[in-house]
Amino acid sequence: MVLFGWSDPEGFVAVSNYAREHHWHLEMRAYFTDMVPERWNGDGILYSQGIRERIDRFVIDQAKRCPVVSLNANLPKGLVVPVVASDNAEAGRMAARHLLERGHRDFAYYSALGGIVSDERRSGFEEVIRASGYRLHAICPRKGSNRLVPWSDQRRRLAAQLRKLPPRAGVLALDDLVASEFIEIALEAGRRVPDDLAVVGMGNLSAVCECSQIPITSIDLRSTEVAERAAAMLDRLMARGKMTAGSERLAPGALVVRESSDTTVVRDPRLAEAIAFMTANLRKSLSLDQAAEAAGISRRTLYHLFCDDLGVTPADYLRRQRTQLADRLLREHPGMTRREAAGKAGFASTRSLSRSLGNG
């Protein structure tokens, strides 16, 4: 039985493909209709907790007689089953490092839900921010919440708190849907994205990220691989007649930069001029002498401004920006070759791009 508490199109397709290859019969009515059978005598369940208590009670009862594997670290009280999921804490750290690289010095985490998944993502995010010595600001939808906050209450409370955040803050949202809602409310509250608030989501669901009012930067949580590994684990448990196994955590995939965080925060107006020139000419052959000249400073001064404000050299910054542009082009255009992406992103050669991509 497939019992996903949240819409997970990539995971669902992966499980369906696995089922075809291994001649499973899938019980999917609950996935589509939110209904569970009164009597069921199947061999195993692939599960992720959502907000449907009736289904959670069904799974707790079924776990006494057949193996259950969860694709979500959130588990209802009384359910102890193996979990196959992304490393949420590391995903949080990735988001923090990205926002720090963009020059942010004020940060916040936002979720309308509690639970282990949210706690893990928050802890990884805040761990890196605290180590950097910068400021964390609280956004609290409702104290002790572990269920969805009503939309009207969430919108009103969040809008009031957004107005109190300092300018140029970096925000991590629980997932892409939450990030999309956050951006919508922020824009209605008069905050600009990404200039006032840079936002990062989780999951990299293309339909959500690319159809948001502001396209969302997001971290690929490898939903397809998580689902495949969960299905394989369940297969082994059913074959061996076992109920439990050790849990697995997968390292997150790439961070995909889109407009919601695609800005660099700097304090010195000369550095801002240099970065604006680099951004405008990223796809062209560009020298650091030209960037320095555009800002009206020497190459040496440009070097020190980058190191002091962003902690990187001008060459490293330029390479990172070009790598992100090339990576985006390759993702958005599956038929594009690396040679073509390298040329459009301003790399001198395909080898230079390959080295940058290999180095992350």
Chain center to CA of 189: 24
Specify the domain boundaries for CATH 1.10.10.60 within the chain.
269-358
Nearest-angstrom CA–CA distance, 90 and 94? 6
CATH code of the domain occupying 2-86+223-250: 3.40.50.2300
Task: Identify the bridge partners of residue 329 per DSSP, sorted by sequence position.
Answer: none
Contact 274, 282 (CB under 8 A): no
CATH class, 269-358 region: mainly alpha
Distances (CA, A) of 91 to 76, 105, 108, 113, 255: 23, 19, 15, 17, 9
Contact 82, 246 (CB under 8 A): yes
Global pTM value: 0.82
Helices and strands in the chain: count of H runs, count of E runs: 15, 11
Topology, domain 88-221+255-261: Rossmann fold (3.40.50)
Residue 34 main-chain phi, psi, to 5 deg:
65, 20
Question: Each residue's pLDDT tens digit in the chain (360 positions)?
Answer: 998 877 678 888 999 999 999 999 998 887 777 778 878 889 999 999 877 788 888 999 999 999 999 998 999 998 999 999 999 999 999 999 999 989 999 999 999 878 899 999 999 999 999 999 999 998 876 554 445 556 677 788 888 888 889 988 999 999 999 999 999 999 998 999 998 999 999 999 988 999 999 999 999 999 999 999 999 999 999 999 888 888 999 999 999 999 999 888 888 889 989 988 988 888 888 888 999 999 999 999 999 999 988 888 998 888 888 888 888 788 778 888 888 888 888 887 888 787 777 644
The tokens describing 335, both together, are: 């038929």
Q: Which amino acid is at 121?
A: R
Residue ranges of E strands in 220-292? 248-250, 255-256
Specify the domain boundaries for CATH 3.40.50.2300 within the chain.
2-86+223-250, 88-221+255-261
Which residue, 207, 203, 161, is CA-closest to 182? 161
